[in-house]
């Protein structure tokens, strides 16, 4: 048995599936499919598979079928590069990834170098969720396109909303101690100081990433500071555990978050009983009064037991198809050129555009809160009975930030 | 580690054996030369590079575990530091146009590993056994965590990247294409293997074995076990640094994952699975674990479960590792009686195979039910399509497990019996009384 | 200030007691069998998931009894059919066995319960704030957690000191070979100790599950720190583990509440140094390094007092 397994395992990475069929477009999905990050990675994979199916039922892209090739990177940058290499061997010319800015940085770097060293075999990298601003600023690359609003854009949208909310007086910042958390923290400080100088920042905390099992000490600090609002970029267990500890201690504040809607988040919010006290800044929400996206959401939920968490993935796949149509080719260089500066009617309604300068997509941003649902709010989250409610919409133009990117084009 | 009594270094060779011995190294070099001609795809070359790196790393680890009997949970620290220094060196030399070519960068990695292990090692190696293991665990956590704090050197969680083609070039080698990196890694792997093999033959190497087996006796003959452990630790750190810098060259990025517990755990696995009692053990283990960790996740979504079960299996049934399993058969091979074992192996192999297939079938169908309940029941695992909802699959799984288990137990008893008989016969044949 | 001190001490004690709940089992196993049981935290996780499942069927209180029993039985089976065979191959083999086991258990849990956190609630009877101090609520459930830890600590001490079985186990903790020479069935003692140890970990899981989060990575989150507790406390010493747990709980909690960095003490660095690696160290706060402190403690203790705080023999 061991030998067969060995033989099979040996044969696979070496031979690859070299015979890439000409009539399919393979999109390599490189994200964690095992280990701690797998719950998130799997949701993304199913979303992309659903979207590929949607494209295929409409006749595919330029008549070719779209196929998602799942590749498990175990949230590790090195492993991602190995998987990218494997994907390229298997005939993949487009890769997509979202979880972890460190992985995104490594992949963007890899793709850039690979394309430089292998002209004629270019590979494009579609980033659907890694939000580190660096990727479209200092370290921008022609081969990288980002559909998610980067963390600065989200903070711009969030602070534009906070500007018009006078009840916010004392803000506490708590973030994960790594590049994303730090950029949330520094942007929040800078933007709040510019837009609402009267707001007092009463705390500024960085805690280790995904290592805290009990947030009670942090909640004690928040409580002692007298804050009325907490701004956090925490995701995964760090947001769930934070909210839980806050509810246990009876902390009464409003939470402005980036990722409270991620897997496990709504369950934690419901458990903690934080009815419409947790806000999320995102590029869409299920309960938006927009018929096409509601229809889509309905079909999506009929198939899977979770909601559509990545409206940006929808934009990404549909725009990819549109760009290929426009370029009349699925050659990565031509698709990239077609994508540059492209405007697009986004999934949740409204106009978005892919800025040519840095390959960052701009779109309307929404602030929503989770809690008991009203009459026109059909969708709940994670079977909790609670759903997202629209609080504010920030228009595309209000989210545009300057970039420092100096793009090198082929 | 009193249980490892097998000698790592073979006895001194005769002239005829010497020829065979050097021929083996030449053969290995030739093999490394032609390998990329046979498998030329980018993925294959990357896999070979990773294998080479992990061979060096696993062998360096075995200087500690197999040869000196020190269980370390933090060997990746030296691997990672070597990698980081190498990346910074590439950036610095490339940026300042120093005439140092890329192939010399591993020297810097090795020096880094040596420096840090020499710095930290003196305190650590004062104790052996569990105390050493726990100190190494604590230190590894400390250093891995401080890597995230010292951002300007370690680059935070994103790490530090470099472009290896910007280095000074000799013979017009750009080191952009993977094939050039392959030859670079292969050359260093060969050098490192030879060096580490030579180390086992030196008096120090032998004293390491002595410290592992009986530190008190070592003291009686006038050596300080602490010093011996310290020297072994330094050498291990140096070779780990070389491996780390090669990894940095291969990926052109170094990040905190290099230093982490996963990396330290993987090398422990690789060395042990291959067999820590033999010099080639870690080599076998490194190849095996690397290929498994790259390839297995393509075959099944629950590869970690198989990984875990496989390791449990190895630990329980082949304590000497894969190499130990092979070496067990050496007396039979010498006596030319290996064929006597084959029939009983075959007999036992069939139900064992059936049992394992049953377990895999059960796992895959269960996974389908819990993870993808509403999807197409015609699933593939290990490239074999089957229907997860059909009662036939279920009953086949149960039948295979039950019958396979019962028959395997009976047949393996037979194997043990035949084994004893054949081994006695083989010994009698080689050393007649 | 006083508020933060009082609340941090309370939080520290609560976290420390949770650590002790887990470490109590590990310390007995580790001291007696010499096994670095990497899968110990996996039994804690199994306890949480069993507790979740059973409490869905028959309620929380039966789950508090049944889940540890179930986990304990699994522990016994692991010892009897796994570890015992591996034992003869040495400590590294045992360690790798538990390594593999931890891998496998995590994956099995993911297969059965999925990778997302499950909705494991505090039982309604205990779902109220026990008391409020400085306007911070302390949930009754956490008080219950404290109570259980203390009860387990006392009853373990009692069993070890006052019963015959306890005496044998205690003897085996310090002189394992002697006990075997005296003709006791060491194999069976080991098996039972392993079972009890894993059951204790599972008790911690059932209690920590609703209080924290019940997810398939909860084992990996707390695993390594348990070794710190056991080694710092000293092998074979239950009171040592108790003290070490409290110490680490308090150390981490207090460190989190201190925002001091060298920069805040001595002012900012000279601009000439501001962009170098020194500025990283200069600006790091005690709160940021809090999770690393237990490992620092471990290294220091092992260097200066290798037998641990209250231990009697070297590790």
pLDDT given at position A3 = 41
Q: Which of A210, A216, A235, A385 to mutate to test the interface with C (most CBs of C within 10 A)?
A: A216
Token pair for B280 = 């080639």
* Residue C275 main-chain phi, psi, to 5 deg: -105, 5
d(CA C304, CA B127): 11
> Mapping DSSP to helix (H, G, I), strand (E, B) and coil, where does residue C130 land?
strand
Q: Encode pLDDT of A387-407 as tens digits.
A: 999 999 999 998 999 999 999
CA C50, distance to chain mean position in Å, is 18
- Which range (B233-247, B363-377, C154-168, C230-244) has the least confidence? B363-377
Chain C: touching chains (3 or more CB pairs < 8 Å):
A, B
- Answer whether residue A19 shows pLDDT above 60: no
Model confidence band, residue A36 (pLDDT cutoffs 50, 70, 90): low
CA distance C210 to chain A (A): 10
Contacts of A140 (CB under 8 A, 6+ apart): A358, A359, A403, A405, A406, A407
d(CA C200, CA C215): 19
* Residue A222 main-chain phi, psi, to 5 deg: -60, -45
- Answer whether residue C112 shows pLDDT above 70: yes
d(CA B284, CA B282): 5
Q: Establish if B207 belongs to a structural domain.
A: yes
Q: Encode pLDDT of A125-147 as tens digits.
A: 999 999 989 899 988 999 999 99
Model confidence band, residue A5 (pLDDT cutoffs 50, 70, 90): very low
- Answer whether residue C117 shows pLDDT above 60: yes
Nearest CB neighbour to B139, from listed C112, C224, C299: C299
pLDDT given at position A107 = 93
d(CA C295, CA C300): 9
- Quick one: B300 and B341 in the same domain? no
Token pair for A375 = 């009459």
Nearest CB neighbour to C8, from listed A177, A212, A217: A217
Q: Which residue has the tokens 């990247």?
A: B161
* Residue B192 main-chain phi, psi, to 5 deg: -65, -40
> Mapping DSSP to helix (H, G, I), strand (E, B) and coil, where does residue A174 land?
strand
Model confidence band, residue B433 (pLDDT cutoffs 50, 70, 90): low
> Mapping DSSP to helix (H, G, I), strand (E, B) and coil, where does residue B197 land?
helix
Q: Establish if B62 belongs to a structural domain.
A: yes
Give yes or no for a contact between B87 and B95, defined as CB atoms under 8 angstroms apart.
no
Beta carbons of A177 and B298 less than 8 Å apart: no
* Residue A148 main-chain phi, psi, to 5 deg: -80, 145
- Answer whether residue C137 shows pLDDT above 60: yes
CB atoms within 10 A of CB C150: 13
- Answer whether residue A8 shows pLDDT above 80: no
Beta carbons of C213 and A224 less than 8 Å apart: no
Q: Which residues of A257-266 are buried (b: 16+ CB within 10 A; e: fewer)?
A: bbbbbbbbbb
The DSSP result for C255-299, as a single string, is: HHT----HHHHH-SPPGGGTTSHHHHHHT--HHHHGGGHHHHHHH
Helix axes C2-33, C186-211, angle to 10 degrees: 150
d(CA B425, CA B409): 25
Which residue would you say has higher pLDDT here, C311 or C240? Answer: C240
- Quick one: B257 and B350 in the same domain? no
- Which range (A126-130, A397-401, B34-38, B39-43) has the least confidence? B39-43
CA distance B158 to chain A (A): 4
Contacts of C49 (CB under 8 A, 6+ apart): C109, C112, C113, C118, C205, C209, C214
Token pair for A396 = 């595309």
Write the CA distances from B420 to A98, B413, B415, integer angstroms: 57, 11, 9
The DSSP result for C181-199, as a single string, is: HTT--HHHHHHHHHHHHHH
Give yes or no for a contact between C261 and C286, defined as CB atoms under 8 angstroms apart.
yes
Model confidence band, residue A199 (pLDDT cutoffs 50, 70, 90): very high
Q: Encode pLDDT of C21-35 as tens digits.
A: 888 888 888 777 777
pLDDT given at position A202 = 93
Q: Establish if B64 belongs to a structural domain.
A: yes
- Answer whether residue A14 shows pLDDT above 50: no
Token pair for B49 = 């590079």
B&C contacts, CB < 8 Å: 142
Q: Which of C91, C92, C95 to mutate to test the interface with B (most CBs of B within 10 A)?
A: C92
Q: Establish if C169 belongs to a structural domain.
A: yes
Task: Region of B134 please: left (phi>0), alpha (psi -120 to 50) or beta.
Answer: alpha
Q: What's the CATH number where B80 sits?
A: 1.10.3470
| C114–chain A Cβ distance below 8 A for any pair | yes
- Answer whether residue A16 shows pLDDT above 50: no
d(CA C206, CA C200): 10
* Max CA separation in chain B (angstroms): 73
Average pLDDT over residues B242-262: 90
CA distance A90 to chain B (A): 9
- Quick one: B175 and B215 in the same domain? yes
- Quick one: B300 and B412 in the same domain? no
CA B424, distance to chain mean position in Å, is 33
* Residue A366 main-chain phi, psi, to 5 deg: -120, 145
Q: Which of A18, A82, A233, A299 to mutate to test the interface with B (most CBs of B within 10 A)?
A: A82
Q: Which residue has the tokens 């259980």?
A: C148
| A19–chain B Cβ distance below 8 A for any pair | no
Model confidence band, residue C304 (pLDDT cutoffs 50, 70, 90): confident
| Chain B residues 396-425 within an 8 A CB cutoff of chain A | none
- Quick one: B292 and B385 in the same domain? no
Signed CA dihedral, C16, C19, C21, C27: sign only:
negative
Average pLDDT over residues B364-383: 70
A&C contacts, CB < 8 Å: 97
Beta carbons of A248 and C288 less than 8 Å apart: no
Write the CA distances from B55 to A361, A406, B58, B268, C116, integer angstroms: 44, 41, 5, 12, 36
Q: Encode pLDDT of A328-344 as tens digits.
A: 999 999 999 999 999 99
Q: What residues of A are in the C interface, CB distance below 8 Å? A: 35-36, 38-39, 42, 177, 205-208, 211-214, 216-218, 220-221, 223-224, 237, 240-241, 244, 248-251, 263-264, 267-268, 271
Which residue would you say has higher pLDDT here, B215 or A17? Answer: B215
Give yes or no for a contact between A283 and A364, defined as CB atoms under 8 angstroms apart.
yes
With contacts defined as CB-CB under 8 Å, which chain C residues touch B319? 86, 88-89, 93
| B223–chain A Cβ distance below 8 A for any pair | no
- Quick one: B78 and B188 in the same domain? yes
* Residue A36 main-chain phi, psi, to 5 deg: -60, -40
Average pLDDT over residues B156-165: 83
With contacts defined as CB-CB under 8 Å, which chain A residues touch C132? 250
Cα-Cα end-to-end distance for chain B: 34
Signed CA dihedral, B51, B56, B57, B58: sign only:
positive
Q: Establish if C140 belongs to a structural domain.
A: yes
Q: Establish if B351 belongs to a structural domain.
A: yes
The DSSP result for B358-419, as a single string, is: HHHHHHHHHHHHHH-TTS-SEEEETTEEEESS-HHHHHHHHHHHHHHHHHHHHHHHHHHHHH
Task: Classify residue A200 by its DSSP letter.
Answer: E
Model confidence band, residue A20 (pLDDT cutoffs 50, 70, 90): very low
- Quick one: B261 and B299 in the same domain? yes
**Length of chain A measured in residues:** 410
CB atoms within 10 A of CB A394: 22
Q: Which of C8, C207, C213, C280 to mutate to test the interface with A (most CBs of A within 10 A)?
A: C213
- Answer whether residue B144 shows pLDDT above 60: yes
Q: Encode pLDDT of C201-260 as tens digits.
A: 999 999 988 888 788 878 887 888 888 898 898 877 888 999 999 999 999 888 888 877
Q: Establish if C312 belongs to a structural domain.
A: no
Which residue would you say has higher pLDDT here, A27 or C133? Answer: A27
Beta carbons of C4 and A220 less than 8 Å apart: yes
Token pair for A126 = 């579609």
- Answer whether residue A21 shows pLDDT above 70: no
- Quick one: B90 and B136 in the same domain? yes
- Answer whether residue B51 shows pLDDT above 80: yes
Nearest CB neighbour to C295, from listed B3, B138, B269: B138
* Residue B188 main-chain phi, psi, to 5 deg: -65, -35
- Answer whether residue A205 shows pLDDT above 80: yes
d(CA A119, CA A208): 41
Helix axes C238-256, C2-33, angle to 10 degrees: 140
Q: Which residue has the tokens 């726990």?
A: B134
Q: From the CA atom positions of chain A, what is the Rg in Å?
A: 21
Write the CA distances from A126 to A55, A186, A238, B43, C75, integer angstroms: 17, 27, 27, 21, 47
d(CA C43, CA C75): 8
d(CA C27, CA C24): 5
* Nearest residue of chain A to residue B251 (CA atoms): A78
pLDDT given at position B2 = 44
CA distance B251 to chain A (A): 7
- Answer whether residue A100 shows pLDDT above 90: no
Note down the domain range covering C187. 2-219
Nearest CB neighbour to C117, from listed A177, A214, A240: A240
- Quick one: B210 and B351 in the same domain? no
d(CA C71, CA C77): 10
Write the CA distances from B387 to A69, A309, B97, B379, C192, integer angstroms: 22, 31, 61, 6, 43
Average pLDDT over residues B272-298: 88
Beta carbons of B255 and A101 less than 8 Å apart: no
d(CA B254, CA B47): 18
Beta carbons of A82 and B294 less than 8 Å apart: yes
Q: Establish if B188 belongs to a structural domain.
A: yes
Beta carbons of B134 and C111 less than 8 Å apart: no
d(CA C247, CA C249): 5
- Quick one: B38 and B95 in the same domain? yes
With contacts defined as CB-CB under 8 Å, which chain A residues touch B249? none
A&B contacts, CB < 8 Å: 130
d(CA B355, CA B316): 17
- Quick one: B29 and B101 in the same domain? yes
- Answer whether residue A7 shows pLDDT above 50: no
CA distance C156 to chain A (A): 26
- Which range (A125-129, B207-211, B334-338, C299-303) has the least confidence? B334-338
- Answer whether residue C79 shows pLDDT above 70: yes
Average pLDDT over residues A41-70: 91
Contacts of B284 (CB under 8 A, 6+ apart): B274, B275, B321, B322, B323
With contacts defined as CB-CB under 8 Å, which chain C residues touch B275? none
Nearest CB neighbour to C315, from listed B131, B310, B312: B131
Q: All domains of chain A, ordered by start, with CATH?
A: 2-149+294-362 (3.40.50.2300), 152-282 (3.40.50.2300)
Beta carbons of A249 and C217 less than 8 Å apart: no
- Answer whether residue A238 shows pLDDT above 60: yes
Average pLDDT over residues C99-104: 88
Q: Which residue has the tokens 């609340």?
A: C7
* Nearest residue of chain B to residue C78 (CA atoms): B312
With contacts defined as CB-CB under 8 Å, which chain C residues touch A271? 119, 121
Beta carbons of C220 and A42 less than 8 Å apart: no
- Answer whether residue A168 shows pLDDT above 60: yes
Can you point out the beta strands (E) in A73-110? 94-97
d(CA B409, CA C129): 57
- Answer whether residue B7 shows pLDDT above 60: no
Best mean pLDDT range from B151-155, B283-287, B309-313: B283-287
Token pair for B201 = 């033959």
With contacts defined as CB-CB under 8 Å, which chain A residues touch B159? 77, 102, 105-106
d(CA A264, CA A384): 11
- Quick one: B67 and B29 in the same domain? yes
Chain A: touching chains (3 or more CB pairs < 8 Å):
B, C
Provide the number of structural domains found in chain C: 1
Beta carbons of C111 and B153 less than 8 Å apart: no
Q: Establish if B261 belongs to a structural domain.
A: yes
Note down the domain range covering B386. 330-430
| B369–chain A Cβ distance below 8 A for any pair | no
Q: Which of B39, B43, B147 to mutate to test the interface with A (most CBs of A within 10 A)?
A: B43
Q: Encode pLDDT of B377-412 as tens digits.
A: 666 666 677 777 777 888 888 888 888 888 888 888
Token pair for A175 = 């973030």
Q: Which of B259, B262, B312 to mutate to test the interface with C (most CBs of C within 10 A)?
A: B312
Q: Establish if C311 belongs to a structural domain.
A: no
The DSSP result for A110-146, as a single string, is: HHHHHHHHSTTS--EEEESS---GGGGTTT--TTEEE
CB atoms within 10 A of CB A103: 29
The DSSP result for B30-77, as a single string, is: HHHHHHHHH--SHHHHHHHHHHHHHHHHHHHHHIIIIIH----S-THH
Token pair for B88 = 């910074």
CA distance C176 to chain B (A): 16
| C170–chain A Cβ distance below 8 A for any pair | no
Beta carbons of A38 and C132 less than 8 Å apart: no
CA B257, distance to chain mean position in Å, is 18
Provide the number of structural domains found in chain B: 2
């Amino acid at each position: 048995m061991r030998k067969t397994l060995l033989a099979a395992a040996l044969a696979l990475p070496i031979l690859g599936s070299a015979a890439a069929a000409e009539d399919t477009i393979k999109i390599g999905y490189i994200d964690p499919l095992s280990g701690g990050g797998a719950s998130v990675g799997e949701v993304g994979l199913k979303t992309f598979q659903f979207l590929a199916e949607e494209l295929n039922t409409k006749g595919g892209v330029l008549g070719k079928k779209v196929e998602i090739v799942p590749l498990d990177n175990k949230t590790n940058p090195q492993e991602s590069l190995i998987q990218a290499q494997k994907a390229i061997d298997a005939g993949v010319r487009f890769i997509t990834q979202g979880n972890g800015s460190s992985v995104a940085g490594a992949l963007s770097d890899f793709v850039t170098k690979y394309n430089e060293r292998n002209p004629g075999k270019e590979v494009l990298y579609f980033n659907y969720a890694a939000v580190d601003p660096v990727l479209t600023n200092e370290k921008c690359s022609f081969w990288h396109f980002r559909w998610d609003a980067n963390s600065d854009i989200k903070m711009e949208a969030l602070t534009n909303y906070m500007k018009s909310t006078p009840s916010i007086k004392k803000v506490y910042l708590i973030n994960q101690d790594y590049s994303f958390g730090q950029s949330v923290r520094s942007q929040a400080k800078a933007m709040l100081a510019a837009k609402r100088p009267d707001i007092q920042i009463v705390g500024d905390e960085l805690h280790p990433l995904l290592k805290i099992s009990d947030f009670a000490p942090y909640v004690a600090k928040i409580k002692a500071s007298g804050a009325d609002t907490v701004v956090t970029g925490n995701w995964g267990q760090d947001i769930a555990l934070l909210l839980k500890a806050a509810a246990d201690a009876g902390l009464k504040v409003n939470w402005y978050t980036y990722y409270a809607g991620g897997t496990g988040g709504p369950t934690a919010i419901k458990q903690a009983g934080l009815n419409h006290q947790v806000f999320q800044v995102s590029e869409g929400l299920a309960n938006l009064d927009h018929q096409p996206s509601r229809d889509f959401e309905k079909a999506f939920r009929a198939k899977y037991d979770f909601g559509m968490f990545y409206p940006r993935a929808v934009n990404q796949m549909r725009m990819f198809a549109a760009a290929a149509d426009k370029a009349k080719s699925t050659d990565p260089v031509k698709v990239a050129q077609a994508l540059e500066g492209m405007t697009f009617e986004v999934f949740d309604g409204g106009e978005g555009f892919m800025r040519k300068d840095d390959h960052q997509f701009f779109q309307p941003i929404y602030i929503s809160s989770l809690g008991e649902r009203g009459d026109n709010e059909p969708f709940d989250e994670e079977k909790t009975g609670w759903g997202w409610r629209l609080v504010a919409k920030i228009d595309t133009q209000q989210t545009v930030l300057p970039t420092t990117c100096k793009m090198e084009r082929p | 580690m009193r249980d490892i009594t097998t000698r790592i270094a073979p006895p001194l060779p005769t002239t005829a054996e010497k020829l065979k011995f050097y021929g083996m190294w030449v053969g290995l070099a030739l093999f490394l030369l032609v390998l990329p001609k046979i498998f030329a795809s980018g993925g294959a070359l990357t896999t070979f590079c990773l294998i080479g790196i992990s061979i060096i790393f696993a062998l360096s680890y075995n200087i500690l575990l197999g040869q000196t009997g020190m269980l370390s949970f933090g060997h990746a620290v030296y691997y990672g530091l070597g990698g980081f220094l190498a990346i910074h060196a590439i950036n610095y030399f490339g940026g300042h146009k120093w005439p140092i070519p890329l192939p010399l960068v591993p020297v810097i990695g090795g020096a880094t590993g040596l420096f840090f292990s020499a710095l930290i090692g003196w305190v650590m190696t004062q104790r052996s056994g569990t105390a050493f293991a726990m100190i190494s665990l604590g230190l590894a956590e400390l250093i891995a965590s401080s890597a995230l704090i010292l951002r300007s050197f370690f680059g935070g969680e994103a790490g530090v990247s470099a472009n290896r083609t910007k280095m000074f070039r000799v013979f017009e080698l750009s080191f952009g294409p993977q094939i050039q990196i392959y030859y670079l890694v292969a050359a260093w792997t060969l050098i490192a293997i030879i060096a580490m093999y030579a180390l086992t033959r030196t008096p120090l190497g032998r004293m390491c074995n002595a410290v592992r087996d009986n530190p008190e006796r070592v003291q009686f003959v006038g050596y300080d076990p602490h010093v011996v452990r310290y020297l072994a630790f330094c050498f291990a750190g140096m070779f780990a640094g070389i491996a780390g810098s090669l990894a940095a060259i291969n990926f052109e990025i170094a990040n905190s994952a290099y230093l982490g517990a996963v990396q330290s755990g993987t090398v422990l696995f690789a060395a042990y699975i291959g067999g820590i009692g033999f010099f080639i053990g870690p080599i076998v283990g490194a190849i095996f674990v690397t290929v498994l960790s790259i390839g297995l996740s393509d075959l099944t979504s629950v590869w970690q479960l198989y990984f875990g079960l496989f390791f449990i299996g190895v630990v329980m049934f082949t304590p000497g590792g894969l190499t130990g399993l092979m070496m067990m058969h050496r007396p039979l091979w010498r006596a030319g009686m290996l064929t006597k074992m084959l029939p009983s192996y075959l007999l036992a192999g069939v139900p064992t195979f059936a049992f394992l297939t049953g377990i895999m079938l059960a796992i895959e169908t269960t996974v389908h039910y819990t993870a993808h309940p509403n999807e197409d029941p015609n699933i593939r695992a290990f490239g074999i399509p089957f229907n997860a909802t059909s009662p036939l699959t279920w009953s086949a799984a149960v039948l295979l497990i039950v019958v396979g288990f019962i028959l395997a137990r009976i047949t393996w008893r037979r194997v043990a019996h035949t084994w004893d008989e054949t081994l006695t016969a083989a010994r009698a044949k080689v050393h007649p009384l | 200030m006083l508020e933060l001190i009082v609340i941090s001490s309370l939080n520290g004690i609560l976290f420390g007691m949770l650590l002790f709940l887990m470490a109590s089992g590990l310390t007995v196993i580790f001291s007696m069998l010499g096994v670095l049981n990497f899968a110990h935290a996996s039994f804690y996780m199994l306890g949480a998931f069993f507790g979740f499942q059973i409490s869905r069927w028959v309620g929380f209180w039966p789950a508090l009894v049944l889940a540890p029993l179930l986990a304990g039985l699994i522990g016994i089976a692991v010892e009897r059919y796994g570890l015992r065979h591996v034992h003869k191959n040495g400590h590294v083999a045992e360690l790798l066995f538990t390594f593999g086991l931890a891998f496998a258990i995590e994956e099995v849990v993911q297969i059965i319960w999925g990778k997302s956190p499950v909705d494991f609630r505090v039982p309604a009877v205990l779902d109220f704030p026990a008391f409020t101090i400085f306007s911070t609520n302390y949930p009754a459930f956490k008080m219950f957690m404290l109570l259980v830890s203390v009860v387990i600590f006392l009853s373990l001490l009692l069993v070890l000191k006052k019963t015959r079985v306890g005496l044998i186990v205690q003897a085996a903790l310090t002189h394992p070979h002697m006990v075997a020479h005296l003709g006791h069935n060491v194999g069976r003692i080991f098996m039972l100790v392993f079972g009890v140890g894993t059951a204790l970990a599972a008790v911690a899981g059932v209690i920590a599950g609703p209080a924290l989060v019940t997810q398939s990575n909860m084992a990996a989150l707390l695993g390594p720190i348990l070794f710190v507790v056991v080694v710092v406390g000293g092998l074979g010493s239950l009171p040592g583990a108790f003290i070490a747990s409290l110490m680490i709980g308090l150390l981490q909690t207090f460190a989190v509440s201190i925002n001091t960095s060298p920069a805040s003490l001595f002012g900012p660095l000279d601009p000439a140094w501001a962009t170098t690696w020194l500025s990283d160290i200069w600006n790091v706060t005690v709160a940021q390094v809090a999770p690393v402190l237990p490992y620092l403690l471990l290294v220091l203790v092992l260097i200066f007092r290798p037998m641990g705080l209250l231990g009697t023999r070297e590790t």
